[in-house]
Amino acid sequence: MTSPNPGPSGQSSANGPQPRPTGEAVEAVQRALAAEHAAEWSYGLAAVLVAKEMEKTASTDLAAHRTRREATERMLRDAGATPVPPQPAYQPPKPVTDAASATELLVTAETDTAGAWRAVLERTDDQGLRQFALDALTSAAVRATRWRRAGRQSPLTVPFPGQPG
């Protein structure tokens, strides 16, 4: 936890009302936070392996996840919940040993993140939280597209980012 808790009257989101998770949305936001933790861990692992020309993208993307994670933790604390901590380590679906497998891991991390935030959209009526989750879903989908391109995957996009199944 690198950021202090600004409390309910603290830093507001860039646009729209403050996200306020309640009820089943809290658990969905916790799952999204867990996905953000996993994404940060993945970027940490992949950063030293991705192709030279993608290093800057990787560090920008990691920073975006960190910012999102910190805002998510603040939101949960403001709602009276205890943010879930990161796991000590995660199990990538495949061994990560080179640029190709590192890129694939990042696509997986972004896909997981998109799915978790889309699930939040369906579990809240709070407009601030909907906006927050939509921004998170959209940016994860765009980053996934970029990493698919870097990994020469095809297709570069899916028709319904974040949709389960």
Residue 81 and residue 26 in contact, taking contact as beta carbons nearer than 8 Å: yes
Nearby residues of 16 by Cβ (< 8 Å), 6 or more positions away: 127, 128, 131
119 contacts another protein (rule: CB under 8 A): yes
In the complex, minimum distance from the CB of residue 4 to another protein, in angstroms, rounded to a whole number: 25
Residue 30 CB, shortest distance to another protein, in Å, is 7
Supply φ then ψ for residue 51, to 5 degrees: -60, 150
- CA-nearest of 154, 37, 147 to 99 is 147
Region near another protein per CB under 8 A, out of 2-10, 55-63, 71-79, 118-126: 118-126
Q: Quick check: 60 binds another protein (CB under 8 A)? A: no
Q: Does 111 bind another protein (CB under 8 A)?
A: yes
* 136, 117 Cβ separation under 8 angstroms: yes
Cβ at position 1, least distance to another protein in Å: 18
Half-sphere exposure of 103 (CA within 13 A, CB side): 19
Report if residue 58 touches another protein, rule: CB under 8 A: no
Binding flag, residue 65, another protein (CB under 8 A): no
User: Residue 76, exposed/middle/buried by CB under 10 A (0-12, 13-18, 19+)?
Assistant: buried
By rule CB under 8 A, what string of x and - marks binding of each residue 121-160 to another protein? xxxxx-x--xx-xx--xx-xxx-xxx--x-----xxxxxx
Angle between helices 127-150 and 99-121 (to 10 degrees): 160
Contact residues for another protein (CB under 8 A)? 16, 30-31, 34-35, 38, 42, 84, 87-93, 105, 108-109, 111-112, 114-119, 121-125, 127, 130-131, 133-134, 137-138, 140-142, 144-146, 149, 155-165
